[in-house]
């Protein structure tokens, strides 16, 4: 059942699916506008939507266009997000301004969760969630994605947190705020470009059917807030840990030297890591998103079956 909202535009296909309890998967748009170079960004967005459809669910890419919260984009809108250079990166704090000024925005994990929840979508697929940045004990640089997970009831399928972050501190933050961190076919929390991080998950599940039951149970108990489902990149696509770690260290040092801060940090680091790894990190990024799309679609199908 969808919620009506004066700022929200849901595509007819997504609206019909939600009204008929069909599986829908929310997708973010920051990865299109700020996460990948053109034209790979548009190609990847199309591939992700196709995988969701092929698996049996309806994709709902989320963005803000002329101040309207859009749930479900057409090909023309996806292409616009990928080509246009003036798309704002929008998190929770930016939403009132972007909507009021009728601007265009690409949604982060936090704002995608908010809009998905407004629309009534329960499963959201992304590459990796934000987290606690390295050195946060001095900078207090903690992604709004984490506080959103604590309060917004959407299940987020990801390949862990981006390994540019402090993974241990991120998991501690999620534990403090009562956000379950589940592993899909893994007991170890994945580290985005690699399958292993050295940190465990709270609980591991071997099927999306079991995951769906656990998610439904959480919300059935009246426990609001989201869940993190760590889905490791397939082994054949993961990067060598030493190679990616070296690139991350170099990129972090450059960001510090250049005084890059706040919401500009992650786009800078990801872009620089692509350059330092000869585009290998970009290929890995694409593969993990495609893998998450399939798992997220199956999870959405299982949840819709439980709700029938």
Sign of CA dihedral 248, 249, 255, 261: positive
Cβ neighbourhood burial of 151 (10 Å; 0-12, 13-18, 19+): middle
Measured CA to CA, the distance from residue 194 to residue 216 in angstroms comes to 29
- Pick from 5, 205, 206, 219: which is nearest to 123 by CA? 219
SS3 string, 163-223, reads CCECHHHHHHHHHHCCCCEEEECCCECCECCECCCCCECCEEECCHHHHHHHHHHHHHCCC
CA 279, CA 285: separation in Å to the nearest integer? 10
Helix (H, G, I), strand (E, B) or coil at 71: strand
Catalytic option among 70, 89, 122, 162: 162
CA proximity to 215, closest of 173, 160, 154: 154
3-class SS string, 246-308: HHHHHHHHHHHHHCCCHHHHHHHHHHHHHHHCCCHHHHHHHHHHHHHHHHHHHHHHHHHHHCC
The answer to whether residue 283 is catalytic is no
**Residue 275 is a catalytic residue:** no
Strand partners for 160: 191
Q: How far is 220 from 204, CA to CA, in rounded Å?
A: 20
CB distance 135 to 37 below 8 Å: no
- Distance set, CA 242 to CA 57, 253, 273, 277, 307 (Å): 37, 17, 13, 11, 45
Residues marked active site are found at: 28, 162
């Amino acid at each position: 059942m969808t919620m009506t909202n004066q700022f929200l535009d849901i595509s007819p296909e997504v609206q019909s699916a939600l009204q008929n309890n069909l599986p829908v998967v929310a997708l973010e748009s920051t990865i299109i506008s700020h996460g990948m170079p053109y034209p790979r960004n548009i190609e990847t967005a199309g591939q992700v939507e196709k995988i969701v459809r092929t698996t049996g669910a309806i994709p709902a890419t989320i963005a803000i266009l002329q101040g309207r919260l859009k749930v479900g984009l057409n090909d023309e809108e996806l292409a616009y997000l990928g080509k246009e250079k003036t798309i704002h990166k929008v998190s929770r704090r930016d939403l009132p301004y972007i909507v009021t000024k009728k601007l265009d925005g690409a949604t982060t994990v936090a704002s995608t969760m908010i809009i998905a929840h407004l629309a009534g979508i329960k499963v959201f697929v992304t590459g990796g969630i934000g987290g606690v940045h390295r050195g946060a004990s001095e900078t207090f640089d903690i992604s709004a994605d984490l506080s959103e997970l604590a309060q917004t009831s959407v299940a987020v399928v990801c390949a862990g947190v981006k390994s540019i972050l402090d993974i241990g501190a991120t998991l501690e933050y999620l534990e403090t705020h009562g956000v379950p961190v589940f592993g899909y076919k893994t007991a170890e929390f994945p580290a985005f470009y690699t399958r292993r991080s050295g940190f465990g998950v709270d609980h591991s599940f071997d099927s999306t059917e079991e995951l769906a039951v656990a998610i439904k149970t959480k919300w059935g108990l009246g426990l609001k807030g989201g869940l993190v489902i760590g889905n490791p990149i397939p082994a054949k696509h993961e990067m060598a840990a030493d190679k990616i770690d070296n690139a991350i260290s170099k990129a972090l040092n450059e960001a510090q030297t250049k005084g890059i801060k706040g919401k500009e940090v992650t786009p800078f680091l990801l872009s620089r890591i692509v350059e330092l790894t000869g585009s290998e990190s970009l290929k890995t990024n694409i593969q993990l998103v495609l893998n998450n799309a399939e798992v997220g679609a199956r999870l959405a199908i299982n949840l819709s079956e439980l709700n029938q």
